[in-house]
Amino acid sequence: MTLTLHAYWRSSASYRVRIALNLKGLPYAVVPVNLVREGGEHRRDDYLARNPQGLVPTLEVDGVPLTQSLAILEWLEEEHPLPPLLPRDPISRARARSFALAIACEVSPLSNLMVREYLDRVLKLDAAAQQAWHAYWIGRGLAACEAMIAGDNGPFCFGEAPTIADCVLVPQLYNARRFGIDLAGFPALLRAEAAMLALPAVQRAAPEAQPDAA
């Protein structure tokens, strides 16, 4: 099975999939998709044929394109179950998925490149208003995520091993720092992040470790 990941180094969703692929020890080729050069390679017809949303990442499996990072993570879990990225019992699986979705649905979509362009070019918000927008949604989302795992012992979000929750958390905290968000109020999230960043598989997934890092 040949895996080809179409990704952008600094995209949170691309980073999630790299972490999962690396944790499962799967080899894959990377095709960089430059979102910012000349209007964006993600808007070209050949890319849209693979990914009609024009988003990264796309994982091609023997040439068949899979889109949406969380759908890709579920596919990986079904086809390459070891090591697992979901807990064993159904309630714990639901909690890990809920944490991942809380970031993927209520945090990331409000600060992604498309939204930043709209705030800037259509609403013409000044820099302070744009920063306030990002700080509001990221802060609110991370506070909920902190509450979701504050009662757990760690070291990862949900116990002794990484799950999809951790795969989504690490890129979100990376993104939060880009926006200058103070993370001191989220000790459980920082604990899980530290456990993840200690793993070589996660280190190799870092944006700065990618071939297209600028």
- The amino acid at residue 48 is L
Closest distance of CB 18 from its own copies, Å: 17
Closest distance of CB 35 from its own copies, Å: 15
Spatial CA neighbour of 56 closest among 87, 12, 90: 12
Closest distance of CB 38 from its own copies, Å: 21
If the CB atoms of residues 38 and 78 are measured against its own copies, the closer one turns out to be 78
Closest distance of CB 211 from its own copies, Å: 26
Residues near its own copies (CB under 8 A) are: 48, 52-55, 61, 64, 66-68, 70-72, 74-75, 78-79, 90-91, 93-95, 97-98, 101-102, 104-106, 108-110, 115, 118, 122-123, 125, 129, 132-133, 136, 141, 143-145, 147-148
d(CA 50, CA 43): 11
- The amino acid at residue 183 is L
If the CB atoms of residues 22 and 51 are measured against its own copies, the closer one turns out to be 51
If the CB atoms of residues 101 and 161 are measured against its own copies, the closer one turns out to be 101
Spatial CA neighbour of 67 closest among 5, 133, 151: 5
d(CA 71, CA 69): 5
Residues 6+ apart with CB under 8 A from 119: 125, 129, 130, 133
